[in-house]
Amino acid sequence: MGRITLNKVVKRFGEVEVIPPLDLTIEDGEFTVFVGPSGCGKSTLLRLIAGLEDVSSGDITIDGTPATDLPPAKRGLAMVFQSYALYPHMSVRKNIAFPMKMAGLSQEEQEARIKKAADALNLTDYLDRRPGQLSGGQRQRVAIGRAIVREPSAFLFDEPLSNLDAALRVGMRLEISELHERLKTTMIYVTHDQVEAMTMADKIVVLRAGHIEQVGSPLELYRNPRNLFVAGFIGSPKMNLIPGAPAAKHDATHIGIRPEHFRIVESGGTFTGKVIVSEHLGSDTFFHVDVEGVEEAVTIRAGGEVGLRHGDKIHIEPEEGQIHRFDAQGLRIA
């Protein structure tokens, strides 16, 4: 129930090939996150799976049945949109009931499912309000409620939290994760947000210009990025990618070291430089360091109590075994 396979799927808008031939399998019950820079085709891919866009070639299989030519309604998938896409002239109750009404469910069944969804999502008090009278977070919950009651074989989310403020986002993130734990239904989730991707995903798909750069669990991607792009994309703050002489010492074109994998040492150290900016977050401090022999500023993470300031001299040393090496093609050297 809910295994989705894409086989050589291509999508063109006119002349422009937005998705070049792409293969991907999403296992049943998996929480898959699509990440990638803006315009890389995440939404398009999701809409292809949903059936809101037609594939130019290739095929899509859902639960073992060919779904390439099925209309969206027949695919058994539910989608939560970034704009929530609630029906503004219907009450929350009617919004949630709409897919069931379209499916011709009995009145009692509808009531029962609405009640269950409303309880699960804390919407019971708002059932008779219109979407316009709800806050962003509540609207998002209604949209999720409308998706749940259909009991779909998979949920599709397109940046569902991007319209919410930071605090609410954390809350909703937990709620969606919890929902996934409870329902064990396949979920595909598109996001820009590093933290959402790392914390929620069973599997992350990193896309660039419609290509899959790497697929894997969050930690796999963090520990073993397959190429420079993934290395730079996963992790926050970004991995430091250093070309030139320091990389040549490791027989590589680029070396990558994450900010959290640097130690500050009294003297010596592999790199020496001057602090340009220090960002104190309380728990951590990020130093942007102008290192001799390295063009771009190097970011390092240190404890919250380290008190270096602009212009201070600093010696840093990468931790053993935490240096990622990349060759001239940008691929990881094992």
Partner 1 sequence: MATQHSRSAARFMMAPAVILLLGWMLVPLTMTLYFSFKSYLPLRGGDLGWTGFDNYVRFVTSSAFWPSVITTLVIVGGVLVITVCLGILLAMLLDQPMWGQGIVRILVIAPFFVMPTVSALVWKNMFMDPTNGLLSHLWRFFGAEPVAWLSEVPTTSIVMIVSWQWLPFATLILLTAIQSLDSEQLEAAEMDGAPHLSRFFYIILPHLARAITIVVLIQTIFLLSIFAEIFVTTGGAFGTRTLTYLIYQRVLESQNVGLGSAGGVYAIILANIVAIFLMRIVGKNMDA
Ligand X SMILES: Nc1ncnc2c1ncn2[C@@H]1O[C@H](COP(=O)(O)OP(=O)(O)OP(=O)(O)O)[C@@H](O)[C@H]1O
From the list partner 1, ligand X, Mg ion, none, which binds 39 (C-beta under 5 to 8 Å, kind-based)? ligand X
Q: Could you give the string, one character per residue 12-31, with x where binding to ligand X holds by CB under 6 A and - elsewhere?
A: -x----x-------------
Residue 39 or residue 307: which is nearer to ligand X going by CB?
Answer: 39
Residue 24 beta carbon to Mg ion: minimum distance, rounded to whole angstroms: 17
Asked if the peptide bond before residue 99 counts as cis, ω within 30 degrees of 0, the response is no
Count of residues that interact with ligand X, criterion CB under 6 A: 11
The single residue listed with the structure tokens 């309380």 is 282
HEC assignment per residue over 137-173: HHHHHHHHHHHHCCCCCEEEEECCCCCCCHHHHHHHH
Q: DSSP assignment of 263-288, as one string?
A: EEESS--SEEEEEEEEEE-SSEEEEE
CA–CA gap between residue 18 and residue 46 (Å, rounded): 13
From 40-48, 134-142, 166-174, 218-226, give the range in contact with ligand X by CB under 6 A: 40-48
| 52 near partner 1, judged by CB under 8 A | yes
Q: Least Å distance between CB 207 and Mg ion?
A: 11
Are the C-beta atoms of 4 and 15 separated by less than 8 Å? no
Stretch of residues binding partner 1 (CB under 8 A), selected from 50-58, 169-177, 182-190, 200-208: 50-58
For residues 129 to 168, the per-residue mask of contacts with partner 1, x marking binding by CB under 8 A and - elsewhere, is ---x-------------x---x------------------
72-91 residues near partner 1, rule: CB under 8 A:
72-73, 77-79, 81-83, 85-90
Rule CB under 8 A: is residue 70 a binding residue for partner 1? no
Give the C-alpha separation, 27 to 6, whole Å: 12
Q: What mask of x and - would describe binding to ligand X in positions 150 to 189, judged by CB under 6 A?
A: ----------------------------------------
Q: Which does 41 bind (CB under 5 to 8 A by kind): partner 1, Mg ion, ligand X, none?
A: ligand X
Q: Which is nearer to ligand X, 120 or 164 (CB)?
A: 164
CA 145 and chain centroid, separation:
21
Q: Do the Cβ atoms of 35 and 191 come closer than 8 Å?
A: yes
Gap between the terminal Cα atoms of the chain: 37
Question: x-or-dash pattern for ligand X, window 188-217, by CB under 6 A?
Answer: ----x-------------------------
Strand partners, 179: none
For ligand X, the closer of residues 13 and 87 by Cβ is 13
Of the candidate spans 38-46, 110-118, 139-147, 256-264, the one that interacts with ligand X by CB under 6 A turns out to be: 38-46
43 binds Mg ion (CB under 5 A): yes
Q: Give exposure, 301-318, as e/b (b: 16+ Cβ within 10 Å).
A: bbeeeeebeeeeebebeb
Helical ranges in the chain per DSSP H: 42-50, 92-103, 107-120, 136-148, 166-183, 194-200, 218-223, 228-233, 245-248
What residue type is 179 in one-letter code?
L
**In this structure, what are the phi and psi dihedrals at residue 318, rounded to the nearest 5 degrees?**
-70, 150
What contacts 24+ positions apart, CB below 8 Å, involve 277-285?
Answer: 277/310, 278/308, 278/309, 278/310, 280/304
Query: Which residue from 4, 26, 31, 41 is in contact with ligand X, where contact means CB under 6 A?
Result: 41
Residue 50's binding partner among partner 1, Mg ion, ligand X, none (Cβ under 5 to 8 angstroms by kind) is partner 1
Residues of the shown chain interacting with ligand X in the complex, contacts defined by CB under 6 A: 13, 18, 36, 38-44, 192
Residues of the shown chain interacting with partner 1 in the complex, contacts defined by CB under 8 A: 50-52, 71-73, 77-79, 81-83, 85-90, 98-99, 102-103, 132, 146, 150
Residues of the shown chain interacting with Mg ion in the complex, contacts defined by CB under 5 A: 43
